[in-house]
Amino acid sequence: MRLGVFGGSFDPPHNGHLALCLLAREQLGLDRLLISISKNPFKSSADASDSHRKEMAGLLACEINSTGDFATVSDWELQRPGPSYTIDLLRHLRQESGNPELVLLVGEDSYREMPGWNSSDAIPGLCSIAVFSRHAAFSGKDPLAGILPPARFLDFDMPVSATEVRELMKNGQSAARLLPPSIAAYIDANGLYR
C-alpha cells in the first residue's frame, strides 16, 4: 500500500490543504492519505483547541472523500506527550500499518526547513518526499541544495495560509473564500478565531 502522510497543525484547514491533498491523489498514485494533526514544536501554540483542530481535520477529510474514500484523520500525535516530530510519526506508521510505502507530503517552506527537523537525516530512509512547490524544483544555485533530502517536486501555487485566515477573522473580515464550506461553517458555529 502506498500511503500519503500529510501532517500539520490545521489551525484551520483551508483550501490550500484541500487542493494539495487532491493533487497528491491525482499525481502520486496514493492508495490512501493520512491527515495527522500535530503539535508543531516550531509554533508556540495553536489558536484553536486540539478537539476543534481534530474536528476541522475530519471535515477536510470529508471534503476530500466526497469524490471517493481516500483520506483518514489521525490524532496519534495529539495523544502523545510533548511536541510532535515527523520522524516519530513515520516510525509509528511503519510499525503499526504493515510497513506501507510512505510518501511524506510537504510544502516548499517546510521542505526548506527540514535540515532543522528532529532526526531529519533518518526521514528519507522511512519515506519518499513529495514537495508542493511554486517553483517545481530548486536551481543549482540554491544554498540548501546539497543538504536537502531527495524529493519529487510538484507544481503547486496556491498562496493561502492558516495565518492569513486567522488574521482576517480576528479583524472581523470574512475568510470564507479561503476555506472549504464545511470548515467555514464549523468555525462560524463555534466562534473560532475571533
Could you report the per-residue pLDDT of 14-28, keeping only the tens digit for each? Answer: 999 999 999 999 999
CA 162 to chain centre: 11
pLDDT tens-digit profile of 51-96?
Answer: 999 999 999 999 999 989 999 999 999 999 988 899 999 999 999 8
Contact 56, 192 (CB under 8 A): no
3-class state of residue 148 by DSSP: coil
Confidence of residue 138 (pLDDT cuts 50, 70, 90): low
Q: How far apart are CA 155 and CA 142, in angstroms?
A: 18
Answer yes or no: is pLDDT of 140 > 60: no
Triad 63, 66, 70: Cα angle to 5°: 85
Order of strands across the sheet with 101-107? 71-74, 32-37, 2-8, 101-107, 128-133, 152-155
Alpha helices in 97-180 (DSSP H): 108-113, 162-170
Mean pLDDT of 107-125: 93
pLDDT surpasses 80 at 124: yes
Tell me the pLDDT band of 144, cut-offs 50, 70 and 90.
low
What is the reported pLDDT for 167?
96
pTM of the entire structure?
0.92
If you average pLDDT over every residue of the chain, what do you get? 91
Q: DSSP letters of 25-84?
A: HHHS--SEEEEEE---TTSS--SS-HHHHHHHHHHHHHHHHTTSS-EEEE-HHHHSSS--
**178 is written with which cell numbers?**
479561503
Task: Compute the distance between CA of residue 112 and CA of residue 131 in angstroms, rounded to an integer.
Answer: 10
The CATH class that applies to domain 2-160 reads alpha beta
pLDDT of residue 82: 86
> Is residue 154 a contact partner of residue 107, using CB atoms and an 8 Å limit?
no
- Measured CA to CA, the distance from residue 82 to residue 84 in angstroms comes to 7
145 falls in which pLDDT band (50, 70, 90)?
low
